[in-house]
């Protein structure tokens, strides 16, 4: 397709023209600085801060939330054209006319992320005070949490890809430290390493993508690129898009880099809620939506994004169906829900705002359910196996009720938040591509199944716990965040009231096109609810009506076996990545030992043998030396005679 | 003057000296044979100096004598020392310095 033809069909990309920060916005740097300072004090201060470390850690994030809220209110008071605010902080280095600087970009998109990260972050910090109260290393835990929040805020506030990359690596580090927080357990240490290594693969995409962006545009600043990207070569844009998609796959646990997320559940539950459900794993969605000036112009990369989203949303849902570990079940669900967001982002301008909308509502209800799972574990002696639960609704009424709100939200029951965000995505997917729409619809049905199964096995059915387990409700510091998050899970849908979030984000991600659906939205919603109801009913028939065995049955269908083995994601990596790598290493070792070392040792041997032979000439007999002297002299004389005569 | 006889004599003396060095074991005799070779070369030098009518060959002979004298000093000292420690003046016995 020629450039002109493409220009006819292509989108127009919204241009970002930030204004300088003033008033409350000049405090933006503090949003990052507060948790960063908290992390520094807690991690450098050591044991001296043990007594009050958790309070400081919570206070810094709450402070960031206060500033974010003030800035958000300030942003609401401004006109749409003034809502991009830039705060230049410092220059990394200058060379001639070229300058690499660090600046913050606060606009409609980062404002929402700031509220999510600091808001949910504050709640999870408060929850952790209770959850980690028996852990001797609680202060260090809060230090790492603060480090994570600071890095995540760098990621979403930075005005260029370089800063995003810095935050990207920072959250990767914090995630590694927190997954492996109980590093005395082998499984936790291995899970942390696995997450780190798999994320490195995605990070290669990020580094190459940012480099290609710099090579193409001569800058990595979002504002500058949004003005230039329409003139860029479409195939270069596609390449950038695919590299950024690889980055997103790593961080957001999308196929084919999904394998680390399930193991990451080895970390403490607040970590799973904050990092591996609400915030960090959504960084990939943020990256794609933020790079809308690239993705809107390249149909091919968008299609790839959409395909990855569809595959992952189905994979995650299927894996979630077979897990007995409550946290792993939720992790599969997280994969699946992020698949929805990635799918929405792959739909183009029509989906960007929906992806962010679902990201926010998912942040609420999934954090809620993870913290609920943590509360259950807290009362069940840290047992995660749902086959040992049952009938917990009476023992833990608050946890049960709040979890139920999250459950209804993820199912998409009106008027809970998930209904608005997920239905919109499925509708838009149908309007853009029926195959993607079907995948999303089936995914919704499977979601209904695995969430109902989890709900039934944990809170209903007969009690299956041992006599020495005494389930009890968690302390106030843990139930209070649950109640707030449950309220947000119910009310999160108001963001779509009057199309608010779509209009709000339009200046950043572009105006969505009108799309036409064959059926009216109400009929569509009814179909989706019917499919979800089938899933719920199936779960009730298979789990709720039968007795749940304490041990997982071993005689199961091949399909269940595959789902239990994470759809062979690890086996695939084992045989197609690790085994060939190990094979290559072995071959190279043989080559090194026999060919490279052989050549060097052979040369050394030949010198050693020949010098050994020559050494025999040194007999120690003076007269033999004299003979050779004489013989040599005679040879010289003869040679001279031959030459001269 | 015809140098042939002198040169032939010089060659004979040199050969006797060389054979002596190679076949005798006694260090003193070997030493004397070396002196014989040096003097044979001195004779040749002086002969050619006479033939050419200049003094360069004679000066070279003086140098050879000086070197020979120095060599005698050092060489006899070494032979004496070896004899004192090993009770032998045979050059074949002093063959420890080898591979």
Interface pTM, i.e. ipTM: 0.88
Measure B21 CA to nearest chain A CA, in Å: 7
Asked if B98 lies within 8 A of A630 by C-beta distance, the reply is no
C-beta separation of B49 from B57 below 8 A: yes
Short-list A344, A311, A315, CA closest to A331? A315
At residue A403's C-alpha, the angle toward residues A402 and A404, to 5°, is 90
Q: Using CA atoms, how far apart are residues A398 and A479, in angstroms rounded to an integer?
A: 7
Residue A11: band (very low, low, confident or very high) from pLDDT cuts 50, 70, 90:
low
User: Cβ contacts of residue A329 below 8 Å, gap of 6+?
Assistant: A320, A323, A386, A450, A453, A454
Asked if A620 lies within 8 A of B18 by C-beta distance, the reply is no
The structure tokens listed for A40 are 């520094």
State how far the alpha carbon of A204 is from the alpha carbons of A293, A387, A405, A430, in Å: 21, 40, 39, 33
Q: Using CA atoms, how far apart are residues A181 and B76, in angstroms rounded to an integer?
A: 86
pLDDT at A3 (0 to 100): 44
Asked if A626 lies within 8 A of B95 by C-beta distance, the reply is no
**Picking from A4-18, A184-198, A604-618, which range would have the lowest pLDDT averaged per residue?**
A4-18
- The answer on pLDDT for A511 being more than 90 is no
- Which residue is it, tokens 């403490």? A268
- Kind and range of the H or E run holding A172: helix A161-179
Complete DSSP assignment for A107-126: -HHHHHHHHHHHHHHHHHHH
Q: Using CA atoms, how far apart are residues A120 and A124, in angstroms rounded to an integer?
A: 6
**Picking from A221-235, A365-379, A553-567, which range would have the lowest pLDDT averaged per residue?**
A553-567
- The answer on pLDDT for A518 being more than 80 is no
Residue A51: band (very low, low, confident or very high) from pLDDT cuts 50, 70, 90:
confident
The answer to whether residue B95 neighbours chain A at the CB level (below 8 Å) is yes
The structure tokens listed for A244 are 């950024």
**Tens-digit pLDDT profile for residues B38-92:** 999 999 999 999 999 989 999 999 999 999 999 999 999 999 999 999 888 888 8
Instruction: Give the β-pairing of A19-20 and A85-95.
Output: parallel
Considering only CB atoms, which chain A residues are within 8 Å of B98? 618-620
Can you tell me the mean pLDDT for A182-211? 92
| Cα-Cα end-to-end distance for chain A | 88
The answer to whether residue B29 neighbours chain A at the CB level (below 8 Å) is no
pLDDT at A1 (0 to 100): 38
pLDDT at A9 (0 to 100): 45
3-state SS of chain B is: CCCHHHHHHHHHHHHHHHHHHHHCCEHHHHHHHHHHHHHHHHHHHHHHHHHHCCCHHHHHHHHHHHHHHHHHHHHHHHHHHHHHHHCCCECCCCCCCCC
**Tens-digit pLDDT profile for residues A435-456:** 999 999 999 999 999 999 999 9
pLDDT at A145 (0 to 100): 93
Asked if B22 lies within 8 A of A620 by C-beta distance, the reply is no
| Long-range CB contacts (within 8 A, 24+) of A16-20 | A16/A84, A16/A105, A16/A107, A16/A222, A16/A223, A16/A226, A16/A508, A17/A81, A17/A84, A17/A223, A18/A84, A18/A85, A18/A86, A18/A105, A18/A107, A18/A159, A18/A223, A19/A82, A19/A84, A19/A85, A19/A86, A20/A85, A20/A86, A20/A87
The highest-confidence range among A532-546, A547-561, A577-591, by mean pLDDT, is: A577-591
Short-list A305, A171, A313, A296, CA closest to A249? A305
Considering only CB atoms, which chain A residues are within 8 Å of B78? none
Query: Chain A residue closest to B19 (CA)?
Result: A627
**Tens-digit pLDDT profile for residues A159-173:** 899 999 999 999 999
Supply the angle between the helices A234-251 and A161-179 in degrees, to the nearest 10: 20
Say how far residue A257 (Cα) sits from the centre of its chain.
10
Answer positive or negative: Cα dihedral of A377, A382, A385, A390: negative
Measure B11 CA to nearest chain A CA, in Å: 13
Asked if A620 lies within 8 A of B91 by C-beta distance, the reply is no
Q: Using CA atoms, how far apart are residues A72 and A75, in angstroms rounded to an integer?
A: 5
Q: What is the pTM of this model?
A: 0.79
State how far the alpha carbon of A503 is from the alpha carbons of A79, A289, A431, A495, A507, in Å: 13, 15, 20, 11, 8
Can you tell me the mean pLDDT for A490-510? 86
- The answer on pLDDT for B13 being more than 70 is yes
Gyration radius (Cα) of chain A, Å: 31
pLDDT at B67 (0 to 100): 93
- The answer on pLDDT for A402 being more than 90 is yes
pLDDT at A210 (0 to 100): 93
**Tens-digit pLDDT profile for residues A577-633:** 889 999 999 999 999 999 999 999 999 999 999 998 988 888 888 889 999 999 999
Q: What is the mean pLDDT of chain A?
A: 89
The answer to whether residue A615 neighbours chain B at the CB level (below 8 Å) is yes
- The answer on pLDDT for A5 being more than 70 is no
C-beta separation of B85 from A608 below 8 A: no
CB nearest B22 (choices: A616, A620, A627): A627
- The answer on pLDDT for A6 being more than 60 is no
The structure tokens listed for A308 are 């990855």
Q: Tell me whether residue A325 is exposed, middle or buried, using C-beta atoms within 10 angstroms of its C-beta: 0 to 12, 13 to 18, 19 or more.
A: middle
Q: Which residues of A104-118 are buried (b: 16+ CB within 10 A; e: fewer)?
A: bbbbbbbbbbbbbbb
Considering only CB atoms, which chain B residues are within 8 Å of A619? 95, 98-99
- Which residue is it, tokens 């309007």? A431
The answer to whether residue B11 neighbours chain A at the CB level (below 8 Å) is no
C-beta separation of A56 from A42 below 8 A: yes
Complete DSSP assignment for A500-550: HHHHHHHHHH-PPPP---SS-HHHHHHHHHHHHHHHHHHHIIIIISSPPPS
Short-list A294, A295, A304, A316, CA closest to A343? A304
The answer to whether residue A618 neighbours chain B at the CB level (below 8 Å) is yes
pLDDT at A8 (0 to 100): 41
pLDDT at A77 (0 to 100): 87
Residue A4: band (very low, low, confident or very high) from pLDDT cuts 50, 70, 90:
very low
Residue A302: band (very low, low, confident or very high) from pLDDT cuts 50, 70, 90:
very high
pLDDT at A463 (0 to 100): 83
C-beta separation of A352 from A267 below 8 A: no
State how far the alpha carbon of A124 is from the alpha carbons of A81, A364, A371, in Å: 35, 11, 8
- The answer on pLDDT for A123 being more than 80 is yes
């Amino acid at each position: 397709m020629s450039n002109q033809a493409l220009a006819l069909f292509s989108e127009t990309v919204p241009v970002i023209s930030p204004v300088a920060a003033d008033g409350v916005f000049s405090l933006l740097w503090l949003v990052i600085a507060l948790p960063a300072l908290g992390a520094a004090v807690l991690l450098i201060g050591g044991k001296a801060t043990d007594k009050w470390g958790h309070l400081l850690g919570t206070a810094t994030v709450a402070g960031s939330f206060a500033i974010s809220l003030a800035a958000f209110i300030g942003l609401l008071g401004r006109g749409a054209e003034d809502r991009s605010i830039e705060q230049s902080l410092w220059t990394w280095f200058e060379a001639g006319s070229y300058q690499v600087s660090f600046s913050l970009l606060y606009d409609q998109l980062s404002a929402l992320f700031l509220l999510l990260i600091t808001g949910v972050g504050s709640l999870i910090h408060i929850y952790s005070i209770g959850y980690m109260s028996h852990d001797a290393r609680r202060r260090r835990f809060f230090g790492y949490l603060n480090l994570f929040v600071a890095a995540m805020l760098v990621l979403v506030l930075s005005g260029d890809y370089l800063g995003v990359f810095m935050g990207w690596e920072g959250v990767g580090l914090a995630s590694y430290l927190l997954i492996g927080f109980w590093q005395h357990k082998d499984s936790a240490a291995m899970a942390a390493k696995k997450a780190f290594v798999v994320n490195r693969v995605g990070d290669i995409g990020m580094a190459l993508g940012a480099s290609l962006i710099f090579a193409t545009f001569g800058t990595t600043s979002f504002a500058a690129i949004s003005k230039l990207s329409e003139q860029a070569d479409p195939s270069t844009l596609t390449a950038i898009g695919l590299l950024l998609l690889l980055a997103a796959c790593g961080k957001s646990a999308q196929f084919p880099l999904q394998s680390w997320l399930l193991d990451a559940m080895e970390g403490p539950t607040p970590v799973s809620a904050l990092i591996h459900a609400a915030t960090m794993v959504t960084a990939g969605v943020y990256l794609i939506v933020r790079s809308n000036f690239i993705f809107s112009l390249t149909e091919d990369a968008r299609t790839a994004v959409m395909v990855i989203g569809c595959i992952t949303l189905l994979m995650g849902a299927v894996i979630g169906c077979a897990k007995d570990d409550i946290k792993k079940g939720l992790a599969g669900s997280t994969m699946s829900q992020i698949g929805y967001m990635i799918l929405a982002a792959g739909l183009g301008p029509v989906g960007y705002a929906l992806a962010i909308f679902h990201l926010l509502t998912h942040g609420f209800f999934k954090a809620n359910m993870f913290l609920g799972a943590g509360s259950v574990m807290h009362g069940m002696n840290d047992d995660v196996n749902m086959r040992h639960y049952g009938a917990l609704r009476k023992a833990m009424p608050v946890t049960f009720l709040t979890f139920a709100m999250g459950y209804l939200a993820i199912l998409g029951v009106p008027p809970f938040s998930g209904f608005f965000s997920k239905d919109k995505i499925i509708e838009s997917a149908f309007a853009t591509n029926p195959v993607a729409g079907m995948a999303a619809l089936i995914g919704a049905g499977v979601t209904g199944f695995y969430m109902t199964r989890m709900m039934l096995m944990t809170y209903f059915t007969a009690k299956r716990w041992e006599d020495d387990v005494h389930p009890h409700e968690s302390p106030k510091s843990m139930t209070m965040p649950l109640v707030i998050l449950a309220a947000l899970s119910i009310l999160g849908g108001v963001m779509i009231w009057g199309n608010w979030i779509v209009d709000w984000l339009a200046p950043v991600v572009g105006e969505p096109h009108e799309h036409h659906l064959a059926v009216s939205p109400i009929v569509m919603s009814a179909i989706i609810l019917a499919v979800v109801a089938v899933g719920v009913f199936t779960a009730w028939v298979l789990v709720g009506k039968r007795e749940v065995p304490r041990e997982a049955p071993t005689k199961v269908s091949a399909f269940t076996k595959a789902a239990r083995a994470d759809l062979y994601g690890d086996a695939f990596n084992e045989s197609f990545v690790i085994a060939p790598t190990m094979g290559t290493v072995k071959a190279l070792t043989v080559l090194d030992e026999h060919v490279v070392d052989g050549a060097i040792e052979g040369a050394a041997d030949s010198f050693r043998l020949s010098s050994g032979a020559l050494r025999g000439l040194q007999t120690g007999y003076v007269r033999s030396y004299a003979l050779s002297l004489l013989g040599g002299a005679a040879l010289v004389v003869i040679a001279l005679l031959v030459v001269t005569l | 003057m015809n140098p042939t006889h002198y040169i032939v004599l010089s060659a004979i003396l040199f050969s006797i000296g060389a054979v002596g060095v190679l076949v005798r074991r006694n260090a003193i005799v070997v030493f004397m044979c070396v002196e014989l070779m040096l003097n044979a070369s001195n004779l040749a030098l002086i002969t050619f100096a006479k033939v050419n009518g200049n003094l360069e060959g004679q000066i070279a002979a003086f140098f050879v004598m000086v070197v020979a004298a120095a060599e005698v000093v050092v060489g006899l000292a070494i032979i004496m020392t070896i004899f004192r420690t090993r009770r032998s003046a045979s050059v074949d016995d002093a063959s420890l310095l080898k591979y």
